[in-house]
C-alpha cells in the first residue's frame, strides 16, 4: 500500500501532498520536512530507494523517489509493493502530467493544484493503484475536462495571470531537461 | 491539445498564489495568508449567499494555504455544501477538500455520508467514482458502517461501468482494511475472484489488490484465485510485446499486473494441481529466460519494468522454496545483478539474496558471492545499499565464514554511517555468540566492538558478554586478562570500564598471580577510571571494590581508605554514598567467612534466549528477522551456550506478570528510588510475592527454580541484569478455567481512569490496545489484540464478564467478538503472526457500579494455552457529563450535599510532581467540568459533573487541595449517592 505521496521542489517547498493514512496536519508537515531532508542530501546517481524516516513508520516503509529537474516525487510504500513497479508508476504519473499539461513544469503544479490532484486520483486511490494505463488515465482526465467546459462560465482570465507570473519570475531562460523521453520545461524559480 | 486547459483556472486564486510567490519574506507570506484567511472567513460568514464558483475558489485557496503548512480550521461546511451541487466541478473540488482535509474523526461525516449516498445512487458513473474515491481516501469507520454493504453490490453488479468497478474494488479494499468486521463475506466473494478474468485490464489491476488482501486473511475461501492467476499470468507472459496495446509499457506487457499476480501467488503454497503447477513453472522459466535476452529498448524504463517482474518471480521462487533448479537460476541471476551498474538493481539483488540465504537449497550458492558482498559493503557510495549488504552478510553467515564476516563487519564499523551503527553492533554481537567456536574469540570480538563503537553498544550487549563469561569457566581467565589489557588504553569507553569492573571483580583472582596484574595493580587501574565515569558505572565499580576485598584481603586497607574518603562517603549522590557506607561497614564488621558467603562468586545465569536478538528484532520491527533465523539462533545458541529458550512462552507470561519494577534494574541495585539497604525483597522474592498474590500457591516451586543469588541476596547481587530477564516459568499446567485477574490489573485499570485510549496490556506475546468513547450512559470500546510474535495464535477467544452483582443487573455488557475470520470459521479464530484483530464492546451503564468488568483471554501459542484476565477500564467516571456552574451555584450545591455519607474524603501523598497543568489535564480527563474562579484559593481545583446511567443521574462535586509544601493532597468528593462518592474518591486517590 502507498502510505503517502509527496511532491516538493529542490528547496523543500511542498507542491502536492497526499496522505492515505491519517496524520495530523502538523505531523504531515514534519514528515515532509523529514522526507525532504532524507532525500535531498542524496546524490543523483545513488539508488532510488531508502528506508522511511522515523515519523512515517521507519524501516517497515520505503521511500521510493525520482528527481525530475526541480521536483522530487516521493512515494512512501510498505513492503507489499514492488520497488521497481512503484518507480515505473512515478514515471507513468509524470508522463501523464506531461501529456495533460503539455510540457509540465513546476508552475503548473502550483497553479493547478486541484487538477494535479484529480489526475493523481485517477492513478492512485486510497493508497492502491487504480490504473496504470496512461491513455486510460488521460481519457478520464479529458472526460472531466469536457464536463468542466460544458458547465462553462468560468473566466479565461487566469491564463493571463499565469503567463504574467511566468514571465515576471524568470531571471534566466528556461532550460529544457531531458528525462527519459519526455521534456520537462524547467524555469529556474526563485524559491519562496 | 493538452488535456488540462490552462485557461480554466480561477483568477482570484491565481492572483493569490502570485501574491504569495512574490512575498519577500516568511513574515510577509504569513501576513498575506492571514489576510486571505480573514477574507475567506468573512465571506463564509457573510450574509450574502455565495455562488458555487466563489465557494470553489475559496476552497481552492484554502487547499493551497494548507499545502503551505498552515492549519485550516474552517471551510469544511462549505466544502460539504459543494458536494451536493449538481455541477461536476463544484462537486469535485468539494470531494477533494474533504479527502485532503477531513480526518476520519470529523463530525461532518454524517453530512458527507449523505452526499455520498446520493451520488452512489445517482447512476452517473463520474459522480459514483467521486463518491467511491472519497470513501476510499477517508476510510473512516462511520463510512464503513454506512457503505460496507453497498459497495460489494456495485462491484459485482452486471451493469456497472468498468471505471466504477475499478473504484469500487479499491474502495472495498480500503474499508476491509480499516474495518474488516464490517465487510461481510458473502455471495459476492466468489464473483470477485472471477474479476481476474475480466476483459478490462484496469479492472483486473484494481481487483487484484483487493483479492490479494482478502486471500491473505481468508486463504481457503479464495483458493480458486490461484489457478485463475496462473492462467492470467501465463497469457501475459507469453504475449508479444504489442498484444496488450495500452498496457504494454516500454515493450513490456502489463508489468504492473504481472508483479501483482506474482505477489498474489505468494499468498499460497505451490499449486497442488500438476497442470497448474506446470504452467506456472513454465511462466517463471520464461521470465528468467527473458532476463537473458537482449533488451528491446535502451530506455531505463524498459529494463525497470522487465526487472520488476523478474524480482517478483524470484520472490515467488524463494517463497515456494521447493524447486532447486529454479532456486539456483534465481541465485545466479541475482549474482549478476550484484555487479550491475544500476544501483537500484544492486540494492534489490542484495535484498532478495537475503531471503534466499535462508533457503537450504540455495544457502551454499549465496555464500559463493561473499567477496562481492563484502566489496559492496566497503565501496558502495550509497548508504542504503551498504545497509543491505550488511544485512546480507548477516544472513549468509554460518560457522564456515563467521570469522571472516565478523572481521569485515568490525572493520566496517569504524567508518560506518551513524545511522546503522547500532544495528551493526547488535548483529556483530549476535554472530559472534552464535558461531563462536572458541570463546576467547568471542570475548575478543565483543571487546573490540566496545572499543570501536562503544557508544553504540547497548546494555544488552555487555550484559550478554558477562552472562557468557560467568557461565563458561573455560573463558574466565582469558576474559580477565583481555579486559585488563584493554583497560590499560589511556582512553577507554565507559562500557569497557563496566565490563572490566564486573569481570575483574569476579575473576580478577585468575590473573592475580602475574605481578604485572597483581591485585593492587588491578585495583589502581580500575580506580583510575572511576572519576571519569557516570554514577551507575561508579556504583558498579564500588561493588567491584568490595568484591576485591573479599578476593584479595591485602587490598582491604587501600580500598577502605578509598571508601572512607569524603568523595565517597559524603557523595552527593545518595546511591553512591549508601554503597560506600554499607561496603565500608561490611568490610570492617563482617568476618572473612561472612564476607566470603555474601560475596560468593556469581552462580551461572539461567540459560535464556539472547536478549540481543530480541533487541534486534524490536529494532527491525516485526517480521524483519525471519522465524527461520530466530529458530536457528535458538538451536545454535542451545548447542553452544545452552542458551536455548526454555519454556519461552510461559516465561513470557511470567515476565509480564512481574513487569512493573523491571527485574533487571533491581538486579543491578541501581534504582534510585530503591535504597539498597531497604531492599530485602529482592527481585526474586518480589516475583514470588506477585505470584502468591495471584493465587498460585507454588512459592516453593518457584523458589527452587530461582537462581540462588537472585533471591538470596539483593544487596550485593550485582548480576548483569537483562532487560528481558526471564523469570522462572510459572506452573506448566495452565488451567482452562479463566485465570484470576492479573495482580497488576488494578494498576492497569487506574492508568485509564483519566484517559480513554492507550495500551492496556503488553507482554512478549500480546499487546492489547484500547480506544473508547462514551456518550451519556453508553460507551463503545475497541480492543485491539496484536500478536507480537511471528507465530499464529490459535483458538483465540475472549470473554467479558462482570464480577459479582455487576453481572446480574447493573451493567449490561454485550460483546460481539469480531475476529478476522469470524463469519467463516467461528470455531477456529486465529491471529496471524504480527497481525492485529479488533473487538468491539458496547457498554451501557444501568446504574452506578464499582467493580470493573473482567476480560478473559485464552489462546494457544505454540501449543501452550495462554490464559489471562484483565480488568476492562470501565470506571464510573467514564459516564460523567461535565457541568459548568458559577461559584455561587457551586457552593450552594456543595452545602446541599452535606449529609456525612454523601461526602468522601481522602488525604494522600503525591505520587507524581505537583504540576498544575498536569493536574488540570487529569481532572479534565476524568470527565468533569473544571471550574475556574470558584474556589477562593487559586491553588485548589473544583470540578462538577453528572454521572449518567440508565436508572439515575448522580450529580457530583469535587474539590482537590494540593499542599505543595507537604507534597500531599486532600480530596473531597460529594455526590447525591454515597457509593459514588466513595468510589470516585478511591479511583482518584491513585491518580495524582
What's the 3-state SS for B409-439?
HHHHHCCCCHHHHHHHHHHHHHHHHHCCCCH
Q: A79, A112, A133: best mutation site toward chain B, by most B Cβ within 10 Å?
A: A133
CA distance to partner chain A, nearest, from residue B610 (Å): 23
Q: Does B251 touch chain A (CB under 8 A)?
A: no
What string of DSSP letters covers B469-504? HHH-GGGHHHHHHHHHHHHTSSS--HHHHHHHHHHH
On chain B, the residues whose CB falls within 8 A of the CB of A136 are: 202, 246
CA distance to partner chain B, nearest, from residue A128 (Å): 7
Secondary structure letter of residue B853 according to DSSP: P
Q: Could you tell me which chain A residue has the CA closest to the CA of B212?
A: A80
Question: For position B287, what pLDDT does the model report?
Answer: 94
CB contact under 8 A, B312 and A82: yes
- Which residues face A180 on adjacent strands? none
CA distance to partner chain B, nearest, from residue A5 (Å): 12
Q: Is B795 helix (H, G, I), strand (E, B) or coil?
A: strand
| Residue B774 contacts residue B757 (beta carbons within 8 Å) | no
CB contact under 8 A, A126 and B139: yes
Question: For position A54, what pLDDT does the model report?
Answer: 81
On chain B, the residues whose CB falls within 8 A of the CB of A181 are: 299
Higher-confidence residue: B933 or A38? A38
CB contact under 8 A, A113 and B67: yes
| Residue B660 contacts residue B671 (beta carbons within 8 Å) | no
- Which residues face B969 on adjacent strands? B908, B962
CB contact under 8 A, B7 and A143: no
CB contact under 8 A, A59 and B620: yes
Q: Is B747 helix (H, G, I), strand (E, B) or coil?
A: helix
Sort residue B706 into left (φ over 0), alpha (ψ -120 to 50) or beta. beta
Work out the angle between the directed axes of helices B11-22 and A158-168 (0-180°, nearest 10). Answer: 20
CB contact under 8 A, A114 and B93: yes
Question: For position A51, what pLDDT does the model report?
Answer: 84
Nearest to B926 by CA among B976, B870, B871, B876: B876
CB pairs under 8 A between A and B: 241
CA-derived radius of gyration, chain B? 34
Taken in order B471, B474, B479, B480, is the CA torsion positive or negative? positive
| Residue B874 contacts residue B760 (beta carbons within 8 Å) | no
- Of chain B, the end-to-end C-alpha distance in Å amounts to 69
Question: For position B104, what pLDDT does the model report?
Answer: 55
On chain B, the residues whose CB falls within 8 A of the CB of A42 are: 382
Question: For position B924, what pLDDT does the model report?
Answer: 81
On chain A, the residues whose CB falls within 8 A of the CB of B103 are: 22, 24
CB contact under 8 A, A144 and B88: yes
Nearest to B979 by CA among B908, B902, B927: B902
Residue A132: C-alpha distances to residues A16, B62, B789 (Å): 20, 30, 37
On chain B, the residues whose CB falls within 8 A of the CB of A122 are: none
CA distance to partner chain A, nearest, from residue B970 (Å): 39
Taken in order A113, A119, A123, A124, is the CA torsion positive or negative? positive
Residue B719: C-alpha distances to residues B110, B272, B463, B612, B690 (Å): 59, 54, 9, 17, 21
Q: B2, B79, B95, B236: best mutation site toward chain A, by most A Cβ within 10 Å?
A: B2
- Of chain A, the end-to-end C-alpha distance in Å amounts to 33
Q: How far apart are CA B464 and CA B608, in angstroms?
A: 10
Question: Phi then psi for B953, rounded to 5 degrees?
Answer: -125, 130
Q: How far apart are CA B211 and CA B874, in angstroms?
A: 39
Question: Out of A16, A42, A111, whose CB is closest to B9?
Answer: A111
Residue B312: C-alpha distances to residues B105, B205, B248, B288, B356 (Å): 38, 16, 18, 11, 13
Q: How far apart are CA B331 and CA B369, in angstroms?
A: 10
On chain A, the residues whose CB falls within 8 A of the CB of B247 are: 132-133
Q: Could you tell me which chain B residue has the CA closest to the CA of A27?
A: B69
Question: For position A86, what pLDDT does the model report?
Answer: 95
Q: Does B30 touch chain A (CB under 8 A)?
A: no
Q: Does B292 touch chain A (CB under 8 A)?
A: no
CB contact under 8 A, A125 and B21: no
- Which residues face A74 on adjacent strands? A6, A65
Work out the angle between the directed axes of helices B535-551 and B519-530 (0-180°, nearest 10). Answer: 170
Tell me the three cell numbers of residue B380. Answer: 558502495
Q: How far apart are CA B819 and CA B836, in angstroms?
A: 9
Taken in order B47, B53, B57, B63, is the CA torsion positive or negative? positive
CA distance to partner chain A, nearest, from residue B170 (Å): 7
What string of DSSP letters covers A46-99? S-SEEEPPGGGTGGGSEEEEEEETTEEEEEEE-TTS-HHHHHHHHHHHHHHHHH
Question: For position B627, what pLDDT does the model report?
Answer: 37
Annotated binding-site ranges of B: 11-12, 43, 53, 57-61
CA distance to partner chain A, nearest, from residue B506 (Å): 41
Q: Helical H runs in B298-361?
A: 300-320, 324-338, 343-356
Question: For position B106, what pLDDT does the model report?
Answer: 62
CA distance to partner chain A, nearest, from residue B463 (Å): 27
CA angle in degrees (0–180, nearest 5) for B491-B493-B495: 150
| Residue B736 contacts residue B865 (beta carbons within 8 Å) | yes
Question: Out of B133, B246, B621, whose CB is closest to A59?
Answer: B621
CA distance to partner chain A, nearest, from residue B384 (Å): 6
Burial of B697 (C-beta count, 10 Å sphere; 0-12/13-18/19+): exposed
Question: Out of A113, A114, A135, whose CB is closest to B246?
Answer: A135
Q: Return the exposure string of B636-657: e unless at least 16 CB atoms fall within 10 Å of the residue's CB, then b.
A: bbeebbebbbbebbbbbbbbbb
Q: Helical H runs in chain A?
A: 25-40, 83-101, 106-111, 113-123, 134-151, 158-168
CA angle in degrees (0–180, nearest 5) for B463-B464-B465: 95
| Residue B517 contacts residue B485 (beta carbons within 8 Å) | no
Nearest to A132 by CA among B260, B198, B191, B266: B260
Q: B6, B305, B381: best mutation site toward chain A, by most A Cβ within 10 Å?
A: B6
Instruction: Name every residue whose Cβ is closer than 8 Å to that of residue B510 and which is 6 or more positions away in sequence.
Output: B476, B477, B480, B481
On chain B, the residues whose CB falls within 8 A of the CB of A85 are: 255-256, 259, 308
Q: Does B734 touch chain A (CB under 8 A)?
A: no
On chain B, the residues whose CB falls within 8 A of the CB of A27 are: none
| Residue B654 contacts residue B763 (beta carbons within 8 Å) | no
Q: Does B31 touch chain A (CB under 8 A)?
A: no
Question: For position B230, what pLDDT does the model report?
Answer: 94
| Residue B676 contacts residue B578 (beta carbons within 8 Å) | yes
Q: How far apart are CA B873 and CA B54, in angstroms?
A: 49
Rounded mean pLDDT, A79-102: 92
Q: How far apart are CA B501 and CA B525, in angstroms?
A: 10
What string of DSSP letters covers B130-162? HHHHHHHHH--HHHHHHHTTHHHHHHH-TT--H
CB contact under 8 A, A148 and B88: yes
Secondary structure letter of residue B806 according to DSSP: I
- How many Cβ atoms sit within 10 Å of the Cβ of residue B678? 8
On chain B, the residues whose CB falls within 8 A of the CB of A128 are: 136, 170, 173-174, 206, 209
Instruction: Give me the average pLDDT of each 10-residue run along chain B (992 residues).
Output: 53 88 89 91 79 82 87 82 85 87 71 90 90 89 89 89 92 91 85 90 92 91 92 88 76 92 94 92 93 88 92 93 88 91 92 86 86 89 87 90 90 82 87 85 88 84 86 87 89 89 89 86 90 90 90 88 86 89 87 82 73 71 41 38 36 36 32 34 32 34 34 37 39 56 77 81 82 80 82 80 47 35 46 79 78 81 80 83 83 82 85 79 83 81 85 84 84 86 83 80
CA distance to partner chain B, nearest, from residue A16 (Å): 7
CB contact under 8 A, B9 and A158: yes
On chain A, the residues whose CB falls within 8 A of the CB of B624 are: 59-60
Question: For position B105, what pLDDT does the model report?
Answer: 57
Amino acid at each position: 500500500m502507498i502510505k503517502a505521496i509527496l511532491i516538493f521542489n529542490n528547496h523543500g517547498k511542498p507542491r502536492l501532498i497526499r496522505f492515505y493514512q491519517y496524520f495530523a496536519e502538523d505531523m504531515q508537515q514534519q514528515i515532509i520536512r523529514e522526507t525532504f531532508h532524507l532525500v535531498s542530501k542524496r546524490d543523483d546517481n545513488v539508488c532510488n530507494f531508502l528506508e522511511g524516516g522515523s515519523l512515517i513508520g521507519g524501516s517497515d516503509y520505503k521511500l521510493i523517489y525520482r528527481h525530475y529537474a526541480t521536483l522530487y516525487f516521493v512515494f512512501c510504500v510498505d513492503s507489499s509493493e514492488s520497488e521497481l513497479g512503484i518507480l515505473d508508476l512515478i514515471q507513468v504519473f509524470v508522463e501523464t502530467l506531461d501529456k495533460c499539461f503539455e510540457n509540465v513544469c513546476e508552475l503548473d503544479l502550483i497553479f493547478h493544484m486541484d487538477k494535479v490532484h484529480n489526475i493523481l486520483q485517477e492513478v492512485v486511490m486510497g493508497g492502491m493503484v487504480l490504473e496504470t494505463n496512461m491513455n486510460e488515465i488521460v481519457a478520464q482526465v479529458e472526460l472531466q475536462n469536457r464536463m468542466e467546459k460544458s458547465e462553462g462560465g468560468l473566466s479565461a482570465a487566469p491564463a493571463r495571470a499565469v503567463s504574467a507570473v511566468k514571465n515576471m519570475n524568470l531571471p534566466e531562460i528556461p532550460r529544457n531537461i531531458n528525462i527519459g523521453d519526455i521534456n520537462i520545461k524547467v524555469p529556474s524559480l526563485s524559491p519562496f | 491539445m493538452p488535456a488540462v486547459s490552462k485557461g480554466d483556472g480561477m483568477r482570484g486564486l491565481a492572483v493569490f498564489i502570485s501574491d504569495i510567490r512574490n512575498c519577500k519574506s516568511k513574515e510577509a507570506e504569513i501576513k498575506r495568508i492571514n489576510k486571505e484567511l480573514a477574507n475567506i472567513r468573512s465571506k463564509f460568514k457573510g450574509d450574502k449567499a455565495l455562488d458555487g464558483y466563489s465557494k470553489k475558489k475559496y476552497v481552492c485557496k484554502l487547499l493551497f494555504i494548507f499545502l503551505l503548512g498552515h492549519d485550516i480550521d474552517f471551510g469544511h461546511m462549505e466544502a460539504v455544501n459543494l458536494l451536493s451541487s449538481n455541477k461536476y466541478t463544484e462537486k469535485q473540488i468539494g470531494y477533494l477538500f474533504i479527502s485532503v482535509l477531513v480526518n476520519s474523526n470529523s463530525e461532518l461525516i454524517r453530512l458527507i455520508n449523505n452526499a455520498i449516498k446520493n451520488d452512489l445512487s445517482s447512476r452517473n458513473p463520474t459522480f459514483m467514482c467521486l463518491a467511491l474515491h472519497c470513501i476510499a481516501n477517508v476510510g473512516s469507520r462511520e463510512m464503513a458502517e454506512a457503505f460496507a454493504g453497498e459497495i460489494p453490490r456495485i462491484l459485482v453488479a452486471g451493469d456497472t461501468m468498468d471505471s466504477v468497478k475499478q473504484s469500487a474494488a479499491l474502495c472495498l479494499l480500503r474499508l476491509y482494511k480499516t474495518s474488516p468486521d464490517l465487510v461481510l463475506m458473502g455471495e459476492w466473494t466468489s464473483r470477485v475472484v472471477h474479476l481476474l478474468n475480466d476483459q478490462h485490464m484496469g479492472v483486473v489491476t484494481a481487483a487484484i489488490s483487493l483479492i490479494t488482501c482478502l486471500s491473505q486473511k481468508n486463504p481457503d475461501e479464495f483458493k480458486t484465485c490461484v489457478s485463475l492467476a496462473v492462467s492470467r499470468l501465463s497469457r501475459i507472459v507469453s504475449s508479444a510485446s504489442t498484444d496488450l496495446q495500452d498496457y504494454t509499457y516500454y515493450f513490456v506487457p502489463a508489468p504492473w499486473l504481472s508483479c501483482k499476480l506474482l505477489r498474489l501467488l505468494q499468498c499460497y503454497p505451490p499449486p497442488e494441481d500438476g497442470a497448474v503447477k506446470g504452467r506456472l513453472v513454465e511462466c517463471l522459466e520464461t521470465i528468467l529466460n527473458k532476463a537473458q535476452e537482449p533488451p528491446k529498448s535502451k530506455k531505463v524504463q524498459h529494463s525497470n519494468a522487465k526487472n520488476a517482474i523478474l524480482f517478483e518471480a524470484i520472490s515467488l521462487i524463494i517463497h515456494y522454496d521447493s524447486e532447486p533448479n529454479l532456486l539456483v537460476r534465481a541465485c545466479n541471476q541475482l549474482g549478476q545483478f550484484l555487479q550491475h551498474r544500476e544501483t537500484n538493481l544492486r540494492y534489490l539483488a542484495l535484498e532478495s539474496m537475503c531471503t534466499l540465504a535462508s533457503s537450504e537449497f540455495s544457502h551454499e550458492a549465496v555464500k559463493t558471492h561473499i567477496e562481492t558482498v563484502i566489496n559492496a559493503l566497503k565501496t558502495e557510495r550509497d548508504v542504503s545499499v551498504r545497509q543491505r549488504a550488511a544485512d546480507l552478510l548477516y544472513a549468509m553467515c554460518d560457522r564456515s565464514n563467521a570469522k571472516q564476516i565478523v572481521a569485515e563487519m568490525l572493520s566496517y564499523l569504524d567508518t560506518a554511517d551513524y545511522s546503522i551503527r547500532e544495528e551493526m553492533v547488535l548483529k556483530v554481537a549476535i554472530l559472534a555468540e552464535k558461531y563462536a567456536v572458541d570463546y576467547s574469540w568471542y570475548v575478543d570480538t565483543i571487546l573490540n566492538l566496545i572499543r570501536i563503537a562503544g557508544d553504540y553498544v547497548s546494555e544488552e550487549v555487555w550484559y550478554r558478554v558477562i552472562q557468557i563469561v560467568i557461565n563458561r569457566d573455560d573463558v574466565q581467565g582469558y576474559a580477565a586478562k583481555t579486559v585488563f589489557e584493554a583497560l590499560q588504553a589511556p582512553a577507554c569507553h565507559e562500557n569497557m570500564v563496566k565490563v572490566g569492573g564486573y569481570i575483574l571483580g569476579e575473576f580478577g583472582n585468575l590473573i592475580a598471580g602475574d605481578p604485572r596484574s597483581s591485585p593492587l595493580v588491578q585495583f589502581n587501574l580500575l580506580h583510575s577510571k572511576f572519576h571519569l565515569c557516570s554514577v551507575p558505572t561508579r556504583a558498579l565499580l564500588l561493588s567491584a571494590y568490595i568484591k576485591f576485598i573479599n578476593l584479595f584481603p591485602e587490598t582491604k586497607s587501600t580500598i577502605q581508605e578509598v571508601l572512607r574518603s569524603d568523595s565517597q562517603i559524603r557523595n552527593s549522590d545518595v546511591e553512591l554514598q549508601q554503597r560506600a557506607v554499607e561496603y565500608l561497614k561490611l568490610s570492617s564488621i563482617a568476618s572473612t567467612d561472612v564476607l566470603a558467603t555474601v560475596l560468593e562468586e556469581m552462580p551461572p545465569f539461567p540459560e535464556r534466549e539472547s536478549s540481543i536478538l530480541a533487541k534486534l528484532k524490536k529494532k527491525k520491527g516485526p517480521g524483519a528477522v525471519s522465524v527461520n533465523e530466530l529458530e536457528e539462533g535458538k538451536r545454535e545458541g542451545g548447542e553452544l551456550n545452552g542458551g536455548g529458550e526454555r519454556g519461552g512462552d510461559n516465561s513470557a507470561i511470567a515476565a509480564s506478570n512481574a513487569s512493573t519494577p523491571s527485574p533487571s534494574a533491581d538486579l543491578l541495585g541501581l534504582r534510585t528510588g530503591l535504597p539498597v539497604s531497604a531492599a530485602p525483597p529482592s527481585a526474586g522474592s518480589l516475583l514470588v510475592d506477585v505470584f502468591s498474590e495471584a493465587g498460585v500457591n507454588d512459592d516453593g516451586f518457584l523458589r527452587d527454580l530461582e537462581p540462588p543469588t537472585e533471591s538470596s541476596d539483593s544487596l550485593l547481587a550485582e548480576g548483569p541484569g537483562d532487560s528481558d530477564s526471564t523469570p522462572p516459568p510459572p506452573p506448566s499446567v495452565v488451567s482452562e478455567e479463566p485465570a484470576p485477574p492479573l495482580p497488576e490489573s488494578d494498576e492497569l485499570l487506574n492508568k485509564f481512569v483519566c484517559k480513554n485510549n492507550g495500551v492496556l496490556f503488553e507482554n512478549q506475546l500480546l499487546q492489547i490496545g484500547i480506544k473508547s468513547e462514551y456518550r451519556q450512559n453508553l460507551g463503545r470500546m475497541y480492543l485491539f489484540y496484536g500478536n507480537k510474535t511471528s507465530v499464529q495464535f490459535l483458538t483465540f477467544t475472549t470473554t467479558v464478564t462482570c464480577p459479582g452483582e455487576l453481572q446480574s443487573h447493573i451493567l449490561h455488557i454485550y460483546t460481539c467478538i469480531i475476529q478476522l475470520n469470524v463469519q467463516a470459521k467461528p470455531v477456529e479464530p486465529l491471529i496471524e503472526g504480527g497481525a492485529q484483530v479488533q473487538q468491539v464492546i458496547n457498554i451501557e451503564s444501568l446504574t452506578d457500579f464499582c467493580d470493573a468488568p473482567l476480560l478473559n483471554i485464552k489462546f494457544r501459542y505454540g501449543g501452550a494455552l495462554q490464559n489471562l484476565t484483565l480488568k476492562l477500564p470501565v470506571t464510573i467516571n467514564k459516564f460523567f457529563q461535565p457541568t459548568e456552574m458559577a461559584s455561587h451555584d457551586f457552593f450552594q450545591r456543595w452545602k446541599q450535599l452535606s449529609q456525612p455519607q454523601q461526602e468522601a474524603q481522602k488525604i494522600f501523598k503525591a505520587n507524581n510532581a505537583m504540576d498544575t497543568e498536569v493536574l488540570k489535564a487529569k481532572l479534565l480527563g476524568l470527565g468533569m467540568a473544571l471550574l475556574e474562579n470558584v474556589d477562593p484559593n487559586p491553588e485548589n481545583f473544583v470540578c462538577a459533573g453528572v454521572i449518567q446511567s440508565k436508572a439515575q443521574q448522580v450529580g457530583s462535586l469535587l474539590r482537590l487541595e494540593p499542599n505543595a509544601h507537604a507534597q500531599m493532597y486532600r480530596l473531597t468528593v460529594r455526590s447525591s449517592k454515597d457509593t459514588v462518592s466513595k468510589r470516585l474518591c478511591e479511583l482518584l486517590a491513585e491518580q495524582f
